[in-house]
């Protein structure tokens, strides 16, 4: 019985004080080989909070270190069509009840509208235009109508029924639903002048082409050229809408700019290569126009800024051309599908099941989305699915800005700590070891610097000097300011430790051996206080990150558009952002809070490991 009690007591003692090592060691042998450093490491890693802090910090650190390679930051990026989008990945999620029954699809800005074989309309994606306007709120009269075609614009949808009646829903506050007198007259007559063969919608304006070549334009004339010169009326075969202008394909196979803003318009300058060519199809992006010649070549002109002019080599002539916001998708005569232009949201990455001669029934292209309806009724999609963390008020991906902003914030915090540590160690070492007048002078300087109101002083300095600097230079300024004004605590800590260490026997022995005092301070004494210094640096790292973020939040730190975790929270000043666009401040605040908490956990664990008695206090 005694042996069993002794066995269980020994096993409990081993688990409690020696861990779960498989190798059984003698207690005295363990004490003999246990170095102070090993004891500190075991005490440090033995705490669950420390392990959680290390894990969290490492994940966030790798996230901001490697992430910018995949989420590349473009400081000039902004897109009015992607403003204030909530987190989602469903912009191309065609409803299951529509799959296999698709009659038509209209792809809008961030949403899609589909008509099934039963005559029912379906919507998907982000359909909200404003707080009170939602594309998904389809009017009852539209649901009951026998629709023949429809088109989706940036903020509205226009549809035509079998009786020639037009319907508009969505945003109609800017005359998107105000038809001209000629249109109303034609709709009422219901003769050949109102036999609509094409319906298009764009940014706050729409267009319809009838079989007799008449073009109807309506909408917001303040943002778009929606007038037509009379000599072209009756000769229109097709129209292609850009964000604020349009181009027409005439019945004789020529292309013409038929509006009134032809002077100075990039679209009015029809390429010379089209002068002697017959055109069979046209399409447009937001800033360019493209024409398909009879031999299947594609010619692009306009304000191309996103590689729209980089037309690839085709395996066969182009049969049909479609335009998104900054990209084109072409269906070739051999069934191959090719996309080119801007590819930030993978709108040009055609799936292999579609690209290589698949049996495609129809293709539909929106701003950043593509839909290919196959002969079996299935749908293949490629392009923008959504934003994992949403977008901000300028249409910028919040995940990209958080990743790159974290790298800036961590870099500023780390460099600031290094500067403060170097100054603090040098001045603290000199003050603590030599004492006397040097100690008196350095401590008085430390008191003066430490007595400065840090945040107001940094704000004044940043406002006075920072206005003359670009964002990169201002980032360097913030690093230097934080480092120069944060060294006093480290200086006092090093001084106190050296005051205690300089009376030790090993220092006396070093002096007796004739070792230089500079070497004694920095090669013999400092290594003995480095553990405490690491604790101070770890905690100061989180403090410097918080200080930089506070300055950026107040507008005196690193300015926009360069992101930091601090200036990403600037939107929290706005009550509308707090209430309606919660993701713009919740995600930056969450990752920043988790990061600083993890760093503080690590710092507290280091402090307890270096000074085990602190846990008893």
Residues 256/248, Cβ–Cβ less than 8 Å: yes
Q: When comparing pLDDT for 422 and 194, which is higher?
A: 422
Q: Is 179 left (phi over 0), alpha (psi -120 to 50) or beta?
A: beta
**Ramachandran angles phi, psi of 56, nearest 5°:** -65, -45
Concatenated DSSP letters of 534-582: HHHHHHHHHHHHHHHHHHHHHTSSSPTTS--TTGGGGGGGSHHHHHH-T
What is the pLDDT, as a whole number, of residue 24? 45
Query: Where exactly are the structural domains of the chain?
Result: 48-73+396-615, 286-385
Q: What is the pLDDT of residue 339?
A: 95
pLDDT of the residue at 18: 47
**Per-residue pLDDT tens digits for 456-494:** 877 777 777 766 777 788 888 888 888 888 888 889 988
Q: How far apart are CA 253 and CA 78, in angstroms?
A: 37
Q: What is the mean pLDDT of residues 421-450?
A: 88
Q: Which residue has the higher pLDDT, 507 or 403?
A: 403
Task: Please tell me the CATH code under which domain 286-385 is placed.
Answer: 2.130.10.30
Question: Is residue 34 scored above 60 in pLDDT?
Answer: no
User: Which residue is it, tokens 């990150």?
Assistant: 545
Look at residue 27 in the predicted model and tell me its pLDDT: 46
Main-chain dihedrals φ then ψ at residue 104, nearest 5 degrees: -155, 150
- Residues 547-603 have pLDDT tens digits of 888 888 877 778 888 899 988 888 777 888 888 899 999 999 999 999 999 998 988
Average pLDDT over residues 212-219: 93
Looking from the CA of 382 toward its CB, the CA atoms found within 13 Å total: 21
| pLDDT tens-place string over residues 2-28 | 455 555 545 544 454 444 544 444 444
Sign of CA dihedral 52, 57, 60, 62: negative
What is the helix (H) or strand (E) element at residue 28, kind and residue range? helix 27-33
Instruction: Return the minimum-mean-pLDDT range out of 196-200, 227-231, 594-598.
Output: 227-231
Model confidence band, residue 206 (pLDDT cutoffs 50, 70, 90) = very high
The CATH T-level fold of domain 48-73+396-615 is: MetI-like fold (1.10.3720)
Strand order in the sheet with 102-107: 102-107, 111-116, 121-125
Tokens 């934080």 sit on residue: 482
Whole-number percent of the chain with pLDDT over 70: 91
Q: Identify the residue with better confidence: 158 or 429.
A: 158
Tokens of residue 84, six digits = 């204030």
């Amino acid at each position: 019985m005694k042996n069993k009690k002794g066995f269980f007591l020994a096993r409990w003692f081993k688990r409690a004080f020696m861990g779960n090592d498989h190798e059984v060691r003698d207690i005295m042998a363990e004490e003999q080989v246990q170095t102070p450093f090993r004891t500190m490491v075991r005490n440090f890693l033995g705490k669950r909070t420390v392990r959680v802090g290390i894990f969290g910090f490492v994940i966030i650190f790798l996230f901001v270190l490697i992430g910018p390679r995949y989420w590349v930051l473009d400081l000039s990026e902004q897109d009015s069509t992607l403003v204030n989008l909530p987190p989602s990945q469903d912009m191309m999620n065609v409803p299951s009840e529509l799959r296999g029954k698709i009659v038509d699809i209209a792809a809008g800005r961030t949403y899609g509208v589909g008509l099934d074989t039963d005559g029912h309309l379906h919507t998907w994606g982000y359909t909200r235009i404003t707080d009170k306007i939602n594309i998904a709120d389809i009017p009852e009269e539209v649901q009951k109508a026998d629709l023949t075609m429809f088109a989706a614009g940036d903020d509205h949808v226009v549809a035509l029924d079998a009786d020639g009646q037009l319907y508009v829903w969505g945003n109609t506050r800017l005359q998107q639903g105000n038809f001209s007198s000629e249109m109303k007259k034609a709709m009422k007559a219901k003769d050949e002048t109102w036999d609509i063969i094409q319906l298009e919608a764009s940014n706050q304006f729409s267009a319809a082409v009838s079989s007799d070549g008449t073009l109807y334009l309506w909408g917001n004339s303040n943002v778009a050229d929606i007038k037509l010169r009379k000599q072209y009326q009756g000769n229109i075969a097709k129209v292609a809408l850009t964000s604020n202008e349009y181009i027409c394909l005439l019945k004789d196979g020529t292309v013409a700019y038929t509006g009134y803003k032809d002077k100075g318009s990039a679209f009015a300058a029809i390429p010379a290569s089209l002068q002697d060519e017959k055109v069979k199809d046209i399409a447009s992006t937001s800033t360019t126009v493209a024409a398909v010649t009879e031999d299947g070549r594609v010619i692009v002109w306009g304000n191309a800024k996103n590689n729209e002019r980089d037309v690839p080599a085709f395996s066969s002539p182009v049969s049909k051309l479609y335009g998104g916001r900054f990209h084109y998708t072409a269906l070739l005569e051999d069934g191959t599908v090719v996309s080119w232009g801007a590819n930030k949201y993978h709108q040009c990455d055609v799936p292999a099941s579609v690209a290589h001669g698949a049996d495609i029934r129809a293709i539909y292209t929106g701003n950043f989305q593509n839909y290919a309806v196959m002969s079996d009724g299935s749908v293949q999609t490629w392009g923008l699915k959504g934003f994992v963390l949403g977008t901000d008020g300028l249409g910028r991906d919040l995940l990209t800005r958080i990743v790159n902003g974290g790298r800036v914030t961590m870099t500023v915090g780390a460099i600031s700590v290094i500067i403060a540590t170097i100054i603090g160690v040098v001045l603290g070492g000199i003050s603590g070891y030599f004492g006397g007048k040097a100690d008196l002078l350095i401590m008085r300087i430390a008191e003066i610097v430490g007595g400065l109101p840090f945040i107001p002083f940094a704000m004044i300095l940043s406002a006075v000097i920072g206005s003359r600097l670009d964002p990169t230079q201002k980032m360097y300024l913030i690093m230097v300011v934080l480092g120069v004004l944060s060294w006093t605590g480290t200086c006092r800590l090093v001084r106190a430790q050296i005051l205690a260490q300089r009376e030790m026997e090993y220092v006396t022995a070093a002096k007796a051996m004739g070792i230089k005092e500079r070497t004694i301070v920095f090669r013999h004494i400092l290594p003995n206080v480095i553990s405490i210094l690491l604790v101070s640096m770890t905690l100061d790292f989180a403090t410097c990150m918080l200080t930089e973020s506070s300055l950026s939040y107040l507008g005196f730190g690193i300015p926009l558009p360069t992101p930091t975790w601090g200036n990403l929270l600037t939107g929290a000043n706005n009550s509308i952002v707090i209430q309606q666009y919660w993701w713009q401040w919740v995600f930056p605040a969450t990752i920043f809070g988790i990061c600083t908490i993890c760093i503080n956990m690590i710092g507290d664990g280091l402090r307890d490991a270096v000074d085990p008695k602190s846990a008893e206090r």
